[in-house]
Structure 1
């Protein structure tokens, strides 16, 4: 006598995963993050990020670099994914070309600012409500500007506009020795300002 039985062997669906990442906003920072969403296999899952990142589905506080997560399901099946966290190539910075004041006490100084690094576009804050990139009509002194990029990263620069010392002079004279003569002379010695000097007697 016989009996036939049908037996079905099942398996879970294959594990698959999608990863997401948030790159670092400011060069040298550590606010990157990465996450993984797993389907298939048999829940619950465990996570192991390396070289750092912890044991949750989301790893936070990451510096720039590559991170690999190993996911293991309840049956010991595994899947891994790698995420590369990036950062802006260079920190926010800026270079300046200064036009110093030509004559003591004038307001002809200027600062030509060129931002670089970080992530454009940039905004500028010189204080006092001044938000232009460049400055003109400046008197002598030190000016401070904060450059902020699109990610909120900042760099503060101090720029000094100089002026020459004020011009001063001492004069000397030799009077005519004989009435009607022309052997008189006069001289001047100048200090301050910016040499060389030119002279025009009248």
Structure 2
């Protein structure tokens, strides 16, 4: 099954801010459509639940997901809950370096109880509110103020246009590992060396190389899988 075309769709509903940094009374509502019922909803990777209403939330930034009965998932990211004594925004720069990481997150906090300190993941706290050289993905950022308020942010760095080339990067991978006898060389299955065919099946190619069900021998390097994914995310262009 191609989850990119037949998976669920998650929609953000009402977001209620918390009263203060010390009171966890914020809430987020999400709903789901498409895909196959029943749905399971989750927030920040915590155990899933049967409904899309999340209550008793502290100030912070959240990632929410819905997973359908076929195991396909959809996400809504960077959902902010603020508080009277903790108001913030996040500025994101997408990652355009497919095999490295040049994304960036800047956390802008209204200076209500300065000074503030910032930490990425389990690293050390510091004064800088800017985190650079980040690959596409979701990161935990913690912010502390002068009154002992500690707020956790789940922030997702988006994928920016990478410029991965069909002709120079992706097609050689397909020629080497996919367009083999009995596979995608045009004899019994679509010839994926042909751009129009590869574009038509682009989402499936990305999904099946990422879960290593294709090629059957599982011979692709991680860098090759990443190049295919970036090309697909770019729109599977004929470059």
Given the two structures, how large is their TM-score scaled by the length of structure 1?
Answer: 0.40
Larger proportion of helix: 2
Higher gyration radius (CA): 1
